[in-house]
Amino acid sequence: MPSSSPTFLLQSPGTEAEFSAYFDLRWRILRQPWQQPRGSEQDELESSSFHLTAVCDQQVVGVERLHSPSPKTGQVRYMAVSPQFSRRGIASQILMALETQASSQGLQELRLNARETALGFCRHHLLG
């Protein structure tokens, strides 16, 4: 069982194996529970997006993606954290890192796509 404050590393996936683990977590958390097929966790924007993972003990435990649908707007999608690591600050750290990335890209507006179950988390971060 992980401690209440797991040590994790935020990094962009760079190898085929890292992307495989990244997409696997996205599928298991965001698509499998709704009987969606493998592959539905990816879209045509993957190659032009910034991807971030949280890794703990060499295991991907959190993921999120940032893409820019317009020159000044960023969109955060596909946030997922392994259930055994939820409520431990991982999603918050990933979101803050993506906000920093968006700012470094000159994006002035950041939009989040979220499920209804994540609205409390989003409101907490967006409305402070």
Task: Please give the Cα distance from 65 to 95 (Å, whole number).
Answer: 9
For the record, the structure tokens of 65 come out as: 């993606």
> How high is the pLDDT of residue 67?
95
Dump strand ranges (E) for 9-99.
9-11, 50-56, 59-70, 73-81
Q: What CATH number corresponds to the domain at position 118?
A: 3.40.630.30
Residue 51 buriedness (CB in 10 A; 0-12 / 13-18 / 19+): buried
1 part of a folded domain: no
Residue 74 buriedness (CB in 10 A; 0-12 / 13-18 / 19+): buried
4 part of a folded domain: no
Task: Please give the Cα distance from 55 to 61 (Å, whole number).
Answer: 6
Range of the domain at 19: 9-127
Give the residue among 69, 81, 78, 87 at the shortest CA–CA distance from 124: 87
3 part of a folded domain: no
69 part of a folded domain: yes
Query: How many domains does one find in the chain?
Result: 1
For the record, the structure tokens of 74 come out as: 């960023």
> How high is the pLDDT of residue 118?
61
Per-residue model confidence as pLDDT tens for the chain (128 residues): 444 566 899 999 999 999 999 999 999 999 999 999 999 999 999 999 999 999 999 999 999 999 999 999 999 899 999 999 988 888 889 988 998 999 999 999 988 876 666 656 656 665 45
101 part of a folded domain: yes
> How high is the pLDDT of residue 95?
87
Count of helix runs (H) and strand runs (E) in the chain:
3, 5
> How high is the pLDDT of residue 3?
47
51 part of a folded domain: yes
According to DSSP, residue 105 is labeled T
